[in-house]
Amino acid sequence: MHIRVPFLDLNAHHAPLREEFERAIGEVIDSGAFAGGPFVEKFESEFAAFCRCQHAIGLGSGTEALWLSLLACGVGAGDEVITVPNTFMATAEAITYCAARPVFVDVDERTFTMDPAGLKKALTSKTKAIIPVHLFGQCADMDPILEFARKHGLFVIEDAAQAHGAEYKGKRAGTMADAGCFSFYPGKNLGAFGEAGAVITKDAELAEKIKVLRDHGQVRKYRHNMIGWNCRMDGIQAAVLSVKLRRLENVNLLRRAHAQEYNRAFEGLEEVIRPIEANYARHVFHVYAVRVQDRDEVMFMLNEKGIQCGVHYPVPVHLQRAYRELGYSNGDLPISEQTAQEFISLPMFPELTKEQIGMVTLALREAVTSGVMA
Ligand SMILES: Cc1ncc(COP(=O)(O)O)c(C=O)c1O
């Protein structure tokens, strides 16, 4: 198939910055600071400033950010952590790595983020923490979640892996709870040249614990106060991220403009349910997903026309084979299950052109109104 509109075009973003990347990577090579070190520290302070938060800790991935945040909050064997099933597997895996049990609540039908109304039923004497996910770049409704957590003495860790620069009532994603976790996987709004992640927190003690955990539990060289892991960020990734962080605000503005353009094009087309931006939110559209009937058929038709699409996510986490021992079945979390069948993610990247958006919207309009699916 000839690709007319790619789902993501990293080259388009990187090509004009090539010299800057080469210079930045060259500095790391010259310094020899490859694992942790000054480039990581520099990026940490820049990212903390961008998030308007006191501390950022650079790590090897977003999965590690979630895992170490939970460990630093003392989550362990026998504990339960409440989260949502319409997320990337890593959110739940991080809970499992701590020997705790993920407990899933359904999502709000308009925003696809955690429905705070489900928390009461999910609470048990074992509940230790909550992980809301800022899905697709839009924050969960944090106030009721934080209030519930305060009332019941629970930690809250924001999964902001898709939400760099998103806001909730003017506050940056990741800054509202005990910790905020970010992924810098290459395709993210802020993406590295490989794997990387970070935790942000306003809690100095928590930040210190995560720094020790990411470095084998070392408090000073060869002095290990706890069992940790190797979760350090690479110097090269930090140097690349510093270059890209300077463009992040513009990247987010462009993504928002593209989302508006898509929204306008689908106005009045009842076969396509568009994403909404909640009153409280500044959405940064890591993913622009619409809901359609007969999704797989629609996707096939778009692919035939050279439009690359994605599905986030076809199987909700509570129904994954890996979690069958948790005992969930179809029908337990109906909104997450239904949206998993209906979501289709359209091409979204900052350099997307009006012409490309036009091709996507025309192809989708034709697919959903073709009558094939009637
Ligand atoms: C919602 C969510 N949580 C966690 C992760 C895990 O991040 P990483 O791939 O950097 O480990 C991702 C990234 O794919 C994600 O989208």
295 Cα–ligand 1 center, Å: 24
10 Å Cβ neighbour count for 259? 23
User: Which ranges of the chain would DSSP assign to H, the alpha helix?
Assistant: 10-14, 18-31, 38-51, 62-72, 90-97, 119-122, 142-152, 204-213, 235-265, 295-304, 334-342, 354-369
Q: Is the pLDDT of residue 362 over 80?
A: yes
62 Cα–ligand 1 center, Å: 5
| Separation of alpha carbons 195 and 34, rounded Å | 14
Residues in the chain: 374
Residue 339 CB less than 6 A away from ligand 1:
no
Q: Is the pLDDT of residue 65 over 80?
A: yes
Check whether the bond before 313 is cis (ω within 30° of 0): yes
CA-nearest residue, atom 7 of ligand 1: 62
Q: For residue 114, what are the CA distances in angstroms to 131, 195, 265?
A: 9, 27, 28
Render 211-252 in DSSP notation, one character per residue: HHHTBTTEEETTEESS---B-BPBHHHHHHHHHHHHHHHHHH
User: Which secondary-structure segment (H or E) carries 185?
Assistant: none
Q: Which residue, 209, 258, 248, 337, is CA-closest to 50?
A: 248
pLDDT score at 217: 97
Residue-wise over 268-279: b if at least 16 C-beta within 10 A, else e? ebebbbbbebbe
Beta pairing partners, 290:
344
Residue 310 CB less than 6 A away from ligand 1:
no
271 Cα–ligand 1 center, Å: 30
- Mean pLDDT value of segment 20-26: 98
pLDDT classification of 372: cutoffs 50, 70, 90: low
Indicate the residue type of 67. Answer: W
pLDDT tens for residues 109-133? 999 999 999 999 999 999 999 999 9
- Nearest atom, ligand 1, residue 94 CA: 4
319 Cα–ligand 1 center, Å: 18
pLDDT classification of 370: cutoffs 50, 70, 90: confident
pLDDT score at 102: 98
Q: Which of 228-237, 280-289, 362-371 has the lowest mean pLDDT?
A: 362-371
Residue 91 CB less than 6 A away from ligand 1:
yes
Q: Is the pLDDT of residue 373 over 80?
A: no
Percent of the chain residues topping a pLDDT of 70: 99
Render 104-165 in DSSP notation, one character per residue: E--B-TTT-SB-GGGHHHH--TTEEEE--B-GGG----HHHHHHHHHHHT-EEEEE-TT-TT
pLDDT tens for residues 325-342? 999 999 999 999 999 999
Placement of tokens 């049990």 in the chain: 101
* CA-based R_g, the chain, Å: 21
- Nearest atom, ligand 1, residue 64 CA: 11
- Spatial contact of 136 and 275, defined as CB atoms under 8 Å apart: yes
Residue 201 CB less than 6 A away from ligand 1:
no
Residue 161 CB less than 6 A away from ligand 1:
yes
pLDDT tens for residues 155-207? 999 999 999 999 999 999 999 999 999 999 999 999 999 999 999 999 999 99
